[in-house]
Structure 1
Amino acid sequence: MHLYSTNDQQRSNKVSFQEALFNSLPEDKGLYMPEYFPELKDSFFENIENLTFQEIAFEVADALLNEEIPAVKLRDIIDDAVNFPAPLAKLDDEKFVLELFHGPTLAFKDFGARFMARTMSWFLQESPSDEEIHILVATSGDTGGAVAQGFLNVAGIKVTLLYPKGKVSELQEKQLTTVGNNVEALEVEGTFDDCQRMVKEAFLDKDLRARLKLSSANSINISRLIPQSFYYFNAYAQLKRQLSFDANKKLVFAVPSGNFGNLCGGLIAKRLGLPIQHIVASTNVNDIVPKYLEGGAFEPKPSLQTLSNAMDVGNPSNFARLQAFYQTRPAASETELLNNIQQDISGARYTDKQTTEAIKEVFDKYYGYTMCPHTAVGYLGLKDYQAQQKEDSYGVILATAHPAKFVDTVEDTIGESVKMPESLQAIMQSEKNATLIPADLEALKSHLLKG
């Protein structure tokens, strides 16, 4: 697997997956993208409903990574990382919810973080070094907890999590700040966009990179996106298992979107041959990408705080990747590029009021099915898309987190208590341990070099 930078239109400086995994960002400030996507065999899709989640994940990962990771080792990585089911809940004949949050932190990012941690660990074992890998992660909520658990006690790796003060739920904060060992948390006096900016600036600071071996586990790292594509294939397999499946019926995914990593995972799946006809990019009022899809102007702005806090992103990192999936060679004009994207992706945005109304609607209408605020945004996007299109389609919503992680919002909305999983109950009793820093690179740099 060879990768190029989204800022290198000529694709003149390609790197291996291993280099992209450990370096995270190219020096030219772009994002790594695979040069080529192999299309999976027809036989894989014809038989996919007879495969386990792990078997599906292996086939997908092996198609991309077989030049760098031996099959027997890749199977071990997959079996260890993807060891939780991703069930499909049926709402009605056309709407399904793929629950992605059945990992250790009850967030969909668990699989990606575990896959990345175990892949890094294998490469480190193959080429031992005395130099510690230092992973920096900006989080708006769920990424940090998933990365913390995924990399906990992995030899040769230290993790520093940056999260915005007062802008994550209490339970999310406990998941970030109570891990200890090789994981530390920095509480930043700013927004998620500040945290993300600080991480990017750290990667591009030559002095810091000369003194520390830095990497990231955000979706800016390509190794986070590959495992997120597994969900789309697994949803397709479950649809074929549960229905008298009609291959001529349109397959639509609604993706709650903030930094757009999960949506890019869907585009990887589509490039590998999964018959996705359309993706709805569903956001809260931080609607930078929906506005771009409507008018062609990408205008980042400071993020606004909402109930779906993990999507409070005012400058989505993966926008450059989203464009790269549709950029032609020679480069298309901005108008042509936008038209290419609009063929497959549409945007939608929703307020907090609409979000809570959707949580209540689904709870009342679908036998007590309880959504988190992020999942509700995805539900609204699919509902509106199908109503507008007036066509027969399979619609899959990606459910991103357990509702108990937003217990106050959800309980106030549905008027009933939400059962708290035992793992979450235990963490709420733990003591927060975080270092407060201002939202600037020098503060982060000083902290990292002191440690």
Structure 2
Amino acid sequence: MEYTDTRDNAVRVNLKDAVLSGMNPATGGLYIPVRIPKLSPALLERCSAPSFRDIAFEIAKLYCSDVIPDTDLQAIIADCYPFNTPVVPVDPVTYVLELFHGPTCAFKDFGARFMARLMAYFNRSEKEPLHILVATSGDTGSAVGSAFSGVDGIGVTILYPKGKISPLQEKQLSTFTGNVRALAVEGTFDDCQRLVKTAFTDKKLRKTFRLSSANSINIARLLPQSFYYVYAVLSVKCRSLHDNKIENPAIIAVVPSGNFGNLTSGLIAKEMGAPIAGFVAATNSNKTVPDWIASGRYEPRRSVPTLSNAMDVGAPSNHERITAMYTDDEVKKILAAYWTDDNGTLEGIKCCHERTGYIIDPHGAVGWQAWYDIRKGAMLKLMSGFPNKTENPGLTPNIPSWAQNVLDNKAVGILLETAHPAKFGETVKSAIGREPPMPDRLEKLLHLPDNSVPMKNDYREFSQWLKKNLQ
């Protein structure tokens, strides 16, 4: 399996080089497979859904078999995923894919744990340590820190925007020790991401240190996130007729979206053959991608803080991968784009709880609000010639290829619930009047000391800190 560069399609590297370098230091481009392999018909046509770990292994083999023996790969998968991925029906045509059962209670555990073990496997014969730089708007950093904690030969530096994530998320980041460090940056997530990307293109720094990334700019984060898309759609395909009497439904993945890595993983799953009819890209007030879908112009901007802070991204990196995979017209056929503000987020939490009894986190609530509005008239309005104005929260005025299935009641939605609601207890309480129960693994963090390092939004200061502290 070979990988190319989003900015130079003549580039060819193997999986090891793509993973350990993170991105192409010569161009700043992101790695994508030259060819996306296809899932076997035997897997896709099974009458009962395979286990998550079986699916993970079958997909991982497509990308890793030329560099990792099957026995080693099976051991990596087993070590990565000792937790489950429940697909929970909350109404007849809506399923919630719970991605918060890992150690840090967020979907980032799926990609981070696989990536950490892949990097450790590839790094075994290296004499010099590998240094991971990662920017986070909430959950990525804690998942990466947890995944790499105690791994020999690899150090991790996490950059997060000070005061712009939830207190519990900050506690998850600031309490690491040993080979994992956290920098509290005076700025936004985009500033953190800019510092990291500048470091990767700093030739002098890269001559001094072996650097890699653990953001969704690293292909090793994206590929394993495709595992749960395939698992979820096969599970829903097997049970849908029983749940809602819809035979062969159009399955729509509703994806809370910030840096758009999770959505890109879903697109990869679709290209592998997973029976996904389309996607809803659900965003908050950082609506760079919905505006691009609406206007055809991609205009990055500074991010603004919202209640769904992990999606506070004004310049999503994976837009570059999406446009390398599809033309603008193809994107509009696959995607419906939707955005809402903080009031809509709170309404989503409240609406979901009142109608289903399910407690959803602020990011999932953006997805719930999108899917609920689409079903309750927004898509009909759009197809009837009354599009929403792009400056107002709601559905972007493009009609995806699967839109008629919604009107004909032949579509079901899988809503990706990306984090445990207890990580945003105050926000949830303001919407439904009570906080969700907190898992023990989060409760224990509250009593640990803060070890984060303050950092200005200044590349010179950041690079000097790296030179002083990385060994």
Residue deviations 1:127-175 (CA, integer Å, cap 9, x gap): x222010000000000000000000001100000000011011110111
Verify the 8 A CA contact 2:237 2:248 in the aligned structure 1. Answer: no
1:340 to 330, 334, 354: 330
Residue deviations 1:311-351 (CA, integer Å, cap 9, x gap): 0000000000011111xxxxxxxxxx211111101211001
Between the aligned partners of 1:399 and 1:273, the Cα distance in structure 2 is: 23
How many positions carry a matched residue from both structures? 436
Task: Tell me if 1:260 matches 2:260.
Answer: yes
Map 1:171-250 to 2 at 5 A. Answer: 171-244=168-241, 248-250=248-250
User: Match for 1:349: what amino acid?
Assistant: W
Verify the 8 A CA contact 1:259 1:311 in the aligned structure 2. Answer: yes
Task: Tell me if 1:381 matches 2:373.
Answer: no
The residue that corresponds to 2:33 in the other structure is 34
Q: How big is the shift at 1:248?
A: 2.9
The residue that corresponds to 1:122 in the other structure is 121
Verify the 8 A CA contact 2:233 2:276 in the aligned structure 1. Answer: no
Between the aligned partners of 1:382 and 1:83, the Cα distance in structure 2 is: 31
Residue deviations 1:101-145 (CA, integer Å, cap 9, x gap): 1100000000110000111111122xx222010000000000000
User: Match for 1:141: what amino acid?
Assistant: G
Q: How big is the shift at 1:90?
A: 0.8
Q: Give the match's secondary structure for 1:305.
A: coil
Between the aligned partners of 2:55 and 2:307, the Cα distance in structure 1 is: 34
Between the aligned partners of 2:65 and 2:52, the Cα distance in structure 1 is: 19
Between the aligned partners of 1:158 and 1:54, the Cα distance in structure 2 is: 28
Verify the 8 A CA contact 1:48 1:237 in the aligned structure 2. Answer: no
The residue that corresponds to 2:85 in the other structure is 86
The residue that corresponds to 2:407 in the other structure is 390
The residue that corresponds to 2:69 in the other structure is 70
Identity of aligned residues (%): 46
Between the aligned partners of 1:379 and 1:358, the Cα distance in structure 2 is: 6
Map 1:307-322 to 2 at 5 A. Answer: 307-322=307-322
2:342 to 349, 352, 364: 352
Residue deviations 1:234-270 (CA, integer Å, cap 9, x gap): 1123214433265632110110000000000001101
Task: Tell me if 1:18 matches 2:11.
Answer: no
Between the aligned partners of 1:151 and 1:226, the Cα distance in structure 2 is: 18
Task: Tell me if 1:434 matches 2:452.
Answer: yes
Show structure 2 runs of 5+ residues with no match.
380-405
Map 1:150-169 to 2 at 5 A. Answer: 150-169=147-166
Task: Tell me if 1:449 matches 2:447.
Answer: no
User: Match for 1:390: what amino acid?
Assistant: L
Pairwise CA RMSD: 1.2
User: Match for 1:397: what amino acid?
Assistant: L
Show structure 1 runs of 5+ residues with no match.
327-336
The residue that corresponds to 1:334 in the other structure is none
Q: Give the match's secondary structure for 1:37.
A: coil
Query: Which range moved further: 108-117 or 384-393?
Result: 384-393
The residue that corresponds to 2:352 in the other structure is 362
Between the aligned partners of 1:374 and 1:248, the Cα distance in structure 2 is: 29
Verify the 8 A CA contact 1:140 1:312 in the aligned structure 2. Answer: yes
The residue that corresponds to 2:396 in the other structure is none
Verify the 8 A CA contact 2:171 2:450 in the aligned structure 1. Answer: yes
The residue that corresponds to 1:329 in the other structure is none
Between the aligned partners of 1:102 and 1:247, the Cα distance in structure 2 is: 30
Between the aligned partners of 1:119 and 1:397, the Cα distance in structure 2 is: 28
Residue deviations 1:403-428 (CA, integer Å, cap 9, x gap): 00001111121112321111111001
Verify the 8 A CA contact 2:426 2:435 in the aligned structure 1. Answer: no
Query: Which range moved further: 100-109 or 116-125?
Result: 116-125
Verify the 8 A CA contact 1:49 1:240 in the aligned structure 2. Answer: no
Q: Give the match's secondary structure for 2:289.
A: helix
When the two structures are superposed, what TM-score results if normalisation uses the length of structure 2?
0.91
